[in-house]
Amino acid sequence: MWTCGLFVQVILWALVQGFQIPFAVRQTENNFTTLSLSSLSEEHYTVLEHPHFQSHSVRIRKAPSDFCDPSVVKYTGYIDTSAARHIFFYFFESRNAPESDDVILWTNGGPGCSSSMGLFMELGPCRIEDENGTKVNPYSWNENANIFFIDQPAGTGFSYAEYGESVTTTEEAAKDIAAFMAIFFETFSQFKGRPFHLSGESYAGRYLPVFGSAIYDQNTQLVAAGLEPINLKSVMIGNGWTDVYRMIPSFFDMVCTPASVEPFVDISTCVRMKTVMPRCVKWLSETCVDRLDAISCGAAFEFCSNEFMLPFLLSGTNPYDVSKPCSAEEYNSTLCYPQTRHIKDYLNLPSTRKELGVSPLLENTTFQSCNMDLNLAFALNLDMIRGHTPYYLENLLDRGVRVLIYVGDYDWIANWVGNERMVDSLEWHGAASFKKQELKDWTVALVEGKDSSPAGKVKSSGLLTFLTIHGAGHMAPYDKPVESLEMVNRWLKGDLF
């Protein structure tokens, strides 16, 4: 389970350091060491520390050359905190020009879901489609970018915590991500000043606005300390769960109107959903947005979930792609995608774990795509609702950070209707111009040398772009790899759609 829908699934279900380090790179206030990635070893971790981040360090090692994609150099490692949290990551150099291409960080959602799904199923340099291991993905987003995949927060995937430590809010998780990126850019000087982009899907609609804000605010401290700020250029959110207030009512549109496919819930149920919608919207607004009353907000969320989500669950439709059926058995075993089982089996192989440098502390722990205990902890803490995430996006836009909201138009759980309403509601200096834009076709040449074909709809003005990918579900890069890569390549170049 790797989607923002998992936050909701807690409600839905109710309804029906590792390695011994041989050496460390250490630095003092007056003598900080910088490194080249090429100097790293496959045999052991190098430890990166920085005096400005005394609560964080990074272990990093070169991964074997035949792992995933032999054509690029790659690395794995851990972000370690003094609070005994250890966050696992992969880093792949660009296939094009690693010495000059932009840097992207990708996170899956959950909360508590491993970004191995993004890596091995969607946009990574290799994919796992069956029991035969990895195959090179020609449509990987590292075609023109250096890219991180990160298992966060601690407790997700190959990340772990000791002594009962945990993270249960996005704001807490943001501190670790911001420190990690600063240490990375400061240590590997060849990346200093490179354009940096935060990307992800699903619950990343909550993560990334907060992570971006933490990185932006941290830059003030870096400059004050005489360090170079991180060049945060954009946030790219795919099928994001960003605005509860607008997403939950949009479930009605997806099942009772031809928003993406023909209506597939019975009329009497749709009439009830329409009838209770004003109550749901009012209750969520008053108790979750205008002020956070934990008890009342939780009750409002449960009520709205019951009214707007349960009818979908009973329909036998894939929640990540409304154009396809998915039985309860398929959903419970593979989330409607058999690849998830193959990925989990691959990451549970001792040989794979050795290649990746996974901590021996996890030797007797079975890899899980999602940590449901962590998911529940975030849900009980009302993380999705506190802090009203769209406000973070507004502030980033007002500070010159570009924002791309892209959505596969067959997704239900974080659908295009709710996301469009979210972007239209944002209050920032370019809002008036953005709201005047009409959705128009954007096109992609699916075969080189052939005429371009419509790939979806888009509207864009200034720093903000909203884009749909036609025929894609929740995992848009999986369903439409050519279109997704074209979208990212244009975005990185600053091209308008």
Euclidean distance between CA atoms 122 and 137, whole angstroms: 9
Round to the nearest angstrom and report the end-to-end CA distance of the chain.
32
Nearest to residue 331, comparing CAs of 346, 341, 345? 341
Beta-strand ranges (E) seen in 74-165 are 74-81, 85-92, 102-107, 126-128, 134-136, 145-151, 160-161
What is the Rg, in whole angstroms, of the alpha carbon atoms belonging to the chain?
22
Residues forming beta bridges with residue 25, ordered by sequence position: 48
Which pairing describes strands 160-161 and 145-151: parallel, antiparallel, or unpaired?
unpaired
Q: Helix, strand or coil for residue 77?
A: strand
Are the C-beta atoms of 476 and 237 separated by less than 8 Å? no
Euclidean distance between CA atoms 391 and 398, whole angstroms: 11
Are the C-beta atoms of 209 and 268 separated by less than 8 Å? no
Nearest to residue 176, comparing CAs of 200, 201, 151? 151
**Which active-site residues does the annotation give?**
202, 411, 474
Nearest to residue 469, comparing CAs of 445, 444, 451, 491? 444
